[in-house]
Amino acid sequence: MNIWVIAEQQELALELTGAARTLSGTAGEVITVLTGTEAQAQMAVKSGASKCYYINGEMPLENYAESLAKALKTAKPRLILIGATRRGKDLAAKIAALLGVGCATDGKNIEFTAEGVKIERMVYGGLAVSTLISQEETVIVTVPPKTYEAPAQEERTGEVKAFTGQPSTKVKVVEKRAKPKDAVNIADAAVVVGVGRGFAKQEDLKLAEDLAKVLEGELGCSRPVAEDLHWLPEDRYIGISGQNIKPGLYLSLGISGQVQHISGIRDAKIIFAVDKNENAPIFQNADYYIVGDLYQVVPALEEACKKALNK
Ligand SMILES: Cc1cc2nc3c(=O)[nH]c(=O)nc-3n(C[C@H](O)[C@H](O)[C@H](O)COP(=O)(O)OP(=O)(O)OC[C@H]3O[C@@H](n4cnc5c(N)ncnc54)[C@H](O)[C@@H]3O)c2cc1C
């Protein structure tokens, strides 16, 4: 089975290339297209790509929809995996329309079966799983970061080429400025301390920061803390429209636990929640919890952790 992978982020390109290699078996071709350098493309080959095209130009990925669709029309892969970043989702919709094929968003547990390509997707904000079988000749699936593990790099050879298709856009890039971004990616943190609207003031987040420091963890938050209150950067909010995290420990402080937040913490190994409302929905998803005022509980937790960890 031939599979194309298209991703704008290096790590995601490797995750999807590894998944595609497993799905296609040794005989199938895996063609990866990534935005990046030749060296990054070489890494995709070592992750299982038979060929890798790199796009190292000025234009964002979605502007290559037409030229990529042209290449895909000729190649006719059975499956096209596209990294579900904002740009990737835009690109997937455009390519699906140009090729006239179906597009399943946020897919996981993808399998080739006798009936077709089986794809699982979370629906209703993560409350249910829908299973689709695509019997089309080609199907597009967008896959969020961290759905698959990036494989170990192996000594492999494959073709690496600059993508020659041109971007189609009337927009001209006049200047590029890096968006101020947190150096930390909470999706990779082993311990995440999540803060919610249970904190009355921004200064009070210091309590959570201190606890996170003792636990050598990172601070995450609910969406309103980042988007409405602007107390933390947007790449720290967790949930269906934010980050999916997979820490060993997620410590939720003053977060009610609405389904949109829970969707991002489902893969945490241990969820520990603190909320003053004994009926807070977060408790239904927590392994351990304390009903109490976080202004009293968090300093006590910090002390207890310091003692337990000899800090
Ligand atoms: C389309 C859509 C997408 C969304 N996506 C996301 C998403 O990705 N991520 C996300 O987080 N949200 C998302 N939301 C918002 C979500 O529905 C909730 O509104 C949000 O998660 C609530 O944030 P919160 O728990 O911090 O605040 P609240 O719901 O207000 O909860 C605050 C909690 O703090 C507790 N509390 C108050 N004071 C104290 C105290 N002193 N000590 C202890 N506990 C205290 C309260 O009992 C309460 O449980 C989305 C909503 C929509 C409609």
Residue 52, in any domain of the structure: yes
* 256 assigned binding-site residue: yes
Residue 121, in any domain of the structure: yes
Residues 150 and 207 reside in one and the same domain: no
The end-to-end CA distance of the chain, in Å, is 54
What value, to the nearest 5°, has the Cα angle with vertex 9 and ends 3 and 14?
A: 50
Residues 136 and 227 reside in one and the same domain: no
Domain count, the chain: 2
Q: Which domain holds residue 53?
A: 2-162
Q: CA 97 to CA 94: how far, in whole Å?
A: 5
pLDDT in tens, 166-219: 999 888 888 888 766 666 789 889 999 999 999 999 999 999 999 999 999 999
Tell me the CATH number at 280. 3.40.50.1220
Q: CA 146 to CA 187: how far, in whole Å?
A: 8
Last residue of a domain, one of 125, 144, 162: 162
Residue 195, in any domain of the structure: yes
* 261 assigned binding-site residue: yes
Helices (H), the chain: 10-24, 38-46, 65-75, 86-99, 205-214, 223, 259-262, 282-285, 294-308
Cα 196 to ligand 1 centroid, rounded to whole Å: 6
Predicted structure pTM score? 0.75
State the burial class of residue 113 (Cβ atoms within 10 Å of its Cβ: 0-12, 13-18, 19+).
Answer: exposed
Residue 132, in any domain of the structure: yes
* C-beta 242 within 6 A of ligand 1: yes
| pLDDT confidence of residue 216 | 95
Residue 170, in any domain of the structure: no
Residues 85 and 136 reside in one and the same domain: yes
Cα 53 to ligand 1 centroid, rounded to whole Å: 42
pLDDT in tens, 29-44: 999 999 999 999 999 9
* 258 assigned binding-site residue: yes
* C-beta 130 within 6 A of ligand 1: no
